[in-house]
A and B are shown apart, each in its own frame.
Chain A
């Protein structure tokens, strides 16, 4: 041990996993299936445990304010991320898959890049994650399935039903991790509409429903342990340095998997001296716009979960060469009208756009405070702007022929908004000159370094990331033993 290195833990681990969110947890779930009984795995999580009752009282799942942990060079673009055991569980539980064409937008439409794997390679892992989470879903829509969803779809609301009649096979029940059956082992969702702190634990959460994973005797879990950097010697990763309880410490391991989310992960790797051209760059997330619709004669809000319908009619097509595809989320949280007898004649949809990641949107190490990442996101892309410009026409088309009185695209005022789906900063690819990891999430150069999570997505498709990053993690863990 050199004098300027922190002391190492006495054990050397088969694997060190950074983070306990979905990416790390599903990696561990699969890793433990293959690892021998004597394998030792160290898991380091920066956050602490949150108490569900306290979270509900506070209306948030975290103790650490994310804004305090970063230097945001472009404050007009906010970033939402929770730091806590289990990943903070800020997600609402939506689990659509990627469209098959999302994997090859460059080949098909000349935009973005092609993924180094395709839908068929990931489909078995989508199924496994959906089973593990107890996903409620019905029709497949444009997302081919080799098996049905494990649990029945939630009831659509009346507006969804009208859209489903107009767009058969394209407007479907939103697949979600909000329980539709007591057979999931969780209560059934009651559409309270406060999904980030689900008051009845109907939503699948790592800290509640994968907590047993971390009881495996092969795992040593350290909370409030902030990984500072990965240690590299002789062309290999040999461990990590981390801070806990005011002490600087080290841990040695044969494999390191970093799943600390798409802002902290590249930051850790940059501090470790990695110099991949794409590392930290291509920061992105989907952007959403809300549309408020006043209905004429349809009493709405009878659906079985907070977000009931998924409109896929605009997710793919030749237009993607010019403007982004999008999903239409139909929200089912009651917001009534004031007029007598027309209280329920309202609908709200959220249009979730894909985007083209830009190299200059990036994460770095803050020069004035190297203990924090700095984040740059100066403006939305012209591609996304084209989507915004086309939105009113698209909504007119969506609603044509339906009993609608009026609609309003809610203007974006003030900041650029976001969707809490931070992505792209450790992208996967074939070319090490423009990517950080390969299709198995292994670093191109340091082959015993894995990078987990939505930072590995090379594109910003219109799909919530959690199902996809979990499937990628499971696949990556399985591939280690192939």
Chain B
């Protein structure tokens, strides 16, 4: 009786592990890397007056620019739901890959908007302009002096390459 019960429990635990592993692998295989990007944007920028319909568009462009990280992001997608609310960022050392990921996503998104062109005013509605890619659209650095500020230092307006 005891042996049959033990065997049953072991079988049950083993099945659970197999099922969980299979689920994890399946999620990874079909994991949507964009979900991690969206989670980071929601968590980090959700307090801003930002057009959330821009998030999926940005996520697609971001992933396109980082094809080499697709697999890692697909794995991280397993945790995209908790990532919306908490990340290990404050516990991680400077330079850790997960910190860099959040910095890269937030940096690229904010530079793709007009947020800094209006003095980083959090109360203002932020317009998503275009995915920030200096090779495609030049002179979009929002921190460079603009034309009119100084005749000898007139940076050209943003231009499409």
Which A residues are within 8 Å of any B CB, using their own CB?
53, 56-57, 59, 152, 154-155, 157, 180-183, 187-194, 197, 199-200, 292, 294, 301-304, 333-338, 340, 343-344, 406-408, 410
B83-128 interface (Cβ within 8 A of A): 89, 93-95, 99, 102-107, 110-111, 120
Give Cα distance in the complex from A200 to B47, angstroms.
Answer: 36
Determine if B152 and A192 form an interchain contact, defined as CB atoms under 8 angstroms apart: no
> Which of A56, A199, A292 has most chain B Cβ within 10 Å?
A199
Determine if A336 and B153 form an interchain contact, defined as CB atoms under 8 angstroms apart: no
Instruction: Name the residue on A nearest B146 (C-beta).
Output: A190
Band of interface residues on B: 20 to 34
Give Cα distance in the complex from A181 to B44, angstroms.
Answer: 39
- A181-B152, A199-B159 given as contacts; is B111 within 8 A of A336 (CB)? yes
Contact partner, B143, options A292, A294, A340, A344, Cβ 8 Å: A344
Give Cα distance in the complex from A468 to B13, angstroms.
Answer: 72
Q: Is there a chain A Cβ closer than 8 Å to B24's Cβ?
A: no
Contacts of A301 in B (CB 8 A): 141, 143
Contact partner, B120, options A152, A180, A343, A407, Cβ 8 Å: A343
Looking at B1-9, B25-33, B74-82, B131-139, the stretch in contact with chain A turns out to be B131-139
Q: A200-B156, A200-B159, A334-B107 are in contact. List 9 more A-B contacts (CB 8 A).
A: A157-B143, A191-B143, A193-B141, A194-B135, A197-B135, A199-B139, A301-B141, A304-B144, A340-B44
Contacts of A197 in B (CB 8 A): 135
| 11 residue pairs from A and B, CB less than 8 Å apart | A183-B152, A187-B156, A191-B155, A194-B135, A197-B135, A199-B161, A304-B144, A338-B106, A338-B107, A343-B107, A343-B120
Contacts of A407 in B (CB 8 A): 94
Q: Is there a chain A Cβ closer than 8 Å to B145's Cβ?
A: yes
Give Cα distance in the complex from A308 to B25, angstroms.
Answer: 47
Determine if A190 and B156 form an interchain contact, defined as CB atoms under 8 angstroms apart: yes
Contact partner, B47, options A152, A303, A340, Cβ 8 Å: A340
CB of B10, distance to nearest CB on chain A (Å): 44
Encoded as 1 (CB less than 8 Å from any A CB) or 0, chain B from 40 to 83 comes to: 10001001000000000000000000000000000000000000
Instruction: Name the residue on A nearest B158 (C-beta).
Output: A190
Determine if A191 and B144 form an interchain contact, defined as CB atoms under 8 angstroms apart: yes
Contacts of A337 in B (CB 8 A): 103, 106-107
Determine if A180 and B143 form an interchain contact, defined as CB atoms under 8 angstroms apart: no
- A192-B139, A194-B134 given as contacts; is B106 within 8 A of A336 (CB)? yes
Which B residues are within 8 Å of any A CB, using their own CB?
40, 44, 47, 89, 93-95, 99, 102-107, 110-111, 120, 134-135, 138-145, 152-156, 159, 161
Instruction: Name the residue on B nearest A56 (C-beta).
Output: B161
Give Cα distance in the complex from A337 to B154, angstroms.
Answer: 28
- A180-B153, A182-B154, A304-B153 given as contacts; is B110 within 8 A of A336 (CB)? yes
Give Cα distance in the complex from A180 to B152, angstroms.
Answer: 7
Give Cα distance in the complex from A309 to B119, angstroms.
Answer: 24
- A56-B135, A192-B134 given as contacts; is B107 within 8 A of A336 (CB)? yes
Determine if B106 and A343 form an interchain contact, defined as CB atoms under 8 angstroms apart: yes
Instruction: Name the residue on B nearest A59 (C-beta).
Output: B135
CB of A349, distance to nearest CB on chain B (Å): 15
Contact partner, A190, options B95, B105, B138, Cβ 8 Å: B138
Give Cα distance in the complex from A189 to B134, angstroms.
Answer: 13
Determine if B95 and A408 form an interchain contact, defined as CB atoms under 8 angstroms apart: yes
Determine if B155 and A190 form an interchain contact, defined as CB atoms under 8 angstroms apart: yes
Give Cα distance in the complex from A187 to B104, angstroms.
Answer: 30
Give Cα distance in the complex from A344 to B115, angstroms.
Answer: 13
Determine if A334 and B141 form an interchain contact, defined as CB atoms under 8 angstroms apart: yes
Give Cα distance in the complex from A74 to B59, angstroms.
Answer: 39
Contacts of B110 in A (CB 8 A): 336, 343
Contacts of B89 in A (CB 8 A): 338
CB of B19, distance to nearest CB on chain A (Å): 36
Contact partner, A155, options B44, B95, B153, Cβ 8 Å: B153
CB of A290, distance to nearest CB on chain B (Å): 11
Contacts of B161 in A (CB 8 A): 53, 56-57, 199
- A56-B161, A155-B145, A343-B110 given as contacts; is B140 within 8 A of A192 (CB)? yes
Contacts of A189 in B (CB 8 A): 155
Give Cα distance in the complex from A407 to B43, angstroms.
Answer: 25
Give Cα distance in the complex from A468 to B118, angstroms.
Answer: 42
CB of B36, distance to nearest CB on chain A (Å): 13
Contacts of B144 in A (CB 8 A): 190-191, 302-304
Determine if A294 and B156 form an interchain contact, defined as CB atoms under 8 angstroms apart: no
Contacts of A155 in B (CB 8 A): 145, 153
Contacts of A303 in B (CB 8 A): 143-144
Instruction: Name the residue on B nearest A136 (C-beta).
Output: B153
Contacts of A304 in B (CB 8 A): 144-145, 153, 155
Give Cα distance in the complex from A410 to B143, angstroms.
Answer: 25
